[in-house]
Chains A and B, each alone.
Chain A
Amino acid sequence: MALSELYPPYEVVRNPDRCIACRVCERQCANEVHRYDEDLKKMTADESKCVNCHRCVALCPTRALKIVKTDHCFRENENWPKETIEEIYRQAGSGGVLLSSMGNPKPYPIYWDRLLINASQVTNPSIDPLREPMETRVFLGKKPEEIHRDEAGKLLPNLPPQLELSTPILFSAMSYGSISYNAHKSLAQAARELGTCYNTGEGGLHQDFYPYGENTIVQVASGRFGVHKEYLSAGAAIEVKMGQGAKPGIGGHLPGAKIVGDVSRTRMIPEGSDAISPAPHHDIYSIEDLRQLVLSLKEVTHFEKPVIVKIAAVHNVAAIASGIARSGADIIAIDGFRGGTGAAPTRIRDNVGIPIELALAAVDQRLRDEGIRGNVSLIAGGSIRSSADVMKAILLGADAVYIATAALMALGCHLCRSCHSGKCSWGIATQRPELTQRLDPEIGAQRLVNLVTAWTHELKEMMGGMGINSIEALRGNRLMLRGVGLNEKELQILGVAHAGE
């Protein structure tokens, strides 16, 4: 056997008293960890292949399985933790760039958890959301600068195109190709039922999903895959993807192996050909070029669709957003550095970008300082984990939030962070038919509807507690937030007072 410097990170623990050798685990594991040994008449496991996705655990009928972290260890060293050492072995063995999936797992500060929400006592009544109206409807888009009236003095409806949502939660961009047909179908159906939108990502729009157009945001990224006039006109809004929180500043690359069948048709590129998204849009090397692309998209869709520009949260995000707000875009989506991805170089994912909380606060304040906050709506994304995060984002200044990792979890994702392998045992981040069929789109859609409905209820509870009955009165209402355990600078950037102040 060849020298192996990498000891499996997980152990498969099988309770022999419970295991009935039904071989469900063997059939379910896309990574081929489990195997029935005919000679020994029992199940065995090759832990080296295990990604800890819990598929086998979840389907074991006798609960005979669990996956535990190995206690095999290196000599302790604060400067050289196990992961770092193993990454060096991996690169020394291959010469490759480390590739990871999903969001940044490193222990950076999570500002959501250092912000606390207010409630009314005495001077102003709280409102009971179960019996009194509590409004979560939002309109995303540019507000008119001037009022116009006809000769009779009636207001002329010069409102630029708006994206109307029943709740301030949208599903963020995930391309068909990076996730499965059934995952897309679940998102599309759920978006329609919830009165919100999902986002095609840059993989084009499958023919079957054109009927969900009113609840679809069609994305235009640097690769322009599947982009044509019909596609641009099919959605409720168009998103220009300039960047993504998980990998700011770099492009994308869907390997040719995943460009099969419908994925190839939808992206309109031949089977087996790599789908490379260049790092920049090559018609945008400067802010005035962005204006050109935004307006060309509006031109081709007769100025009927709001245009979203999505950027990664980077150091000078406020200045960039200010430029975008003057580019003709209607909505800015900001993606924080904890946002997920189907594949990104590990070093980029873990070291580039800034937290969404700080980026959002800085952008909202900058746009207000310049008097142009009304030019655009803001969508914040990049690890929104609960309704409390949604609430805090809106109080900091967001109009709505994007969720994707949480949505995938509703579909069964167990955050094993192995999407780039294409062997998702839950049938989400894969194109292998035997795996994709595991995700029933009806059930998937229902679970997404459940999640967002529950979050919306929780939002209403918190709103009621503050005596606020409309989302508009939450947006940027930073007096309703207090920081805990934050330093002066952090509080200043977030624009909130410390608890007790």
Chain B
Amino acid sequence: MNKRKNASLLGKRYLGCGNEKGTIEVHETPGNALGAYLDGGRIRVFCNAQDATGDTMNAGEILIHGSVGDAAGYAMRGGAIYVQGDTGYRCGIHMKEYQDKKPVIVVGGCCGSFLGEYQAGGVILVLGIGAEDRPPVGNFCAAGMHGGIIYLRTEHLPADLPGQITAKRAGREELTKIAPLVRRFCREFGEEEEALLSSCYYALTPNTRNPYRQLYVNN
């Protein structure tokens, strides 16, 4: 029994909030806003995480050996979130990138509705493991998306993709971008890299960075 005796982290909010370095390991379901404003270092969770994980995070890595709640990676600007299981609603909402800051979210299972809503930058990869017979995302995927990219490992695109989104089968070029993310995912969660990489992927991108330009008239 050489484990450090910690006060219980069950339900504790703001774990690692604003951290710049170091590693936190969590073995009991942490509270909301895990790793909010995270600025570096690593948070590893060996169970499910709750809502607003990685809210407005800037750098660092959050690794969830389980599923997460709603709004994971909200307004995230950098760093990476890897989720072994599923995510709730609005994963990656308003995620954005700037110069060398390029946020990444990789989800092993499926995502709830509004994945990548308002997405303005960064990469979301949904592997949909175990959901190969259906779209790995809920409704309204990529609503208002105007930057960045969403990769879906599936042969079933969601039926309700908005008009400003172009969905294209990933070619060699895209696959070389996906490969390191899958590799990292597999290293962390022990999945079969080869099997995953040999699947069919779709890339969703917005065809404009200014989706609402035509909506207004001067008054």
CB proximity of B179 to chain A, nearest CB, Å: 25
In the complex the two chains form, is B97's CB within 8 Å of A270's CB?
Answer: yes
Residues of B within 8 A of A283 (CB): 33, 51-52, 55, 71, 74
A447 at the B interface (CB under 8 A)? no
CB proximity of A55 to chain B, nearest CB, Å: 18
CB proximity of A7 to chain B, nearest CB, Å: 15
A22 at the B interface (CB under 8 A)? no
In the complex the two chains form, is A229's CB within 8 Å of B33's CB?
Answer: no
CB within 8 Å for A296 and B101 given contacts A91-B217, A276-B118: no
**How many residues of chain B have a CB within 8 Å of chain A?**
44
Residues of A within 8 A of B209 (CB): 256, 270, 272-274
The answer, among A100, A228, A273, A278, for a CB contact under 8 Å with B219, is A100
CB within 8 Å for A87 and B98 given contacts A232-B37, A296-B33: no
In the complex the two chains form, is A90's CB within 8 Å of B55's CB?
Answer: no
In the complex the two chains form, is B13's CB within 8 Å of A87's CB?
Answer: no
In the bound complex, CA of A346 to CA of B216 (Å): 10
The answer, among A87, A228, A253, A296, for a CB contact under 8 Å with B77, is A228
In the bound complex, CA of A79 to CA of B62 (Å): 60
Instruction: Determine chain A's interface SS by DSSP, over half rule.
Output: mixed
Residues of A within 8 A of B177 (CB): none
Residues of B within 8 A of A276 (CB): 94, 118, 120, 144, 146, 212
Residues of B within 8 A of A256 (CB): 209-210, 213
B147 at the A interface (CB under 8 A)? yes
The answer, among B52, B101, B117, for a CB contact under 8 Å with A292, is B52
A119 at the B interface (CB under 8 A)? no
User: 27 A–B contact pairs at CB < 8 A?
Assistant: A87-B219, A90-B217, A91-B217, A94-B217, A97-B215, A97-B217, A99-B217, A99-B218, A229-B20, A229-B58, A232-B37, A268-B98, A269-B97, A273-B147, A274-B209, A274-B210, A274-B212, A276-B118, A276-B144, A276-B146, A278-B117, A282-B93, A293-B33, A293-B55, A296-B14, A299-B36, A420-B216
Give the interface of A toward B (CB within 8 A). Answer: 87, 90-91, 93-100, 222-224, 227-229, 232, 253, 255-256, 264, 268-270, 272-274, 276, 278, 282-283, 292-293, 295-296, 299-301, 345-346, 418, 420-421
Give the interface of B toward A (CB within 8 A). Answer: 13-14, 17-18, 20, 32-33, 36-37, 39, 51-52, 55-56, 58, 71, 74-75, 77, 90, 93-94, 96-98, 101, 117-118, 120-121, 144, 146-147, 209-219
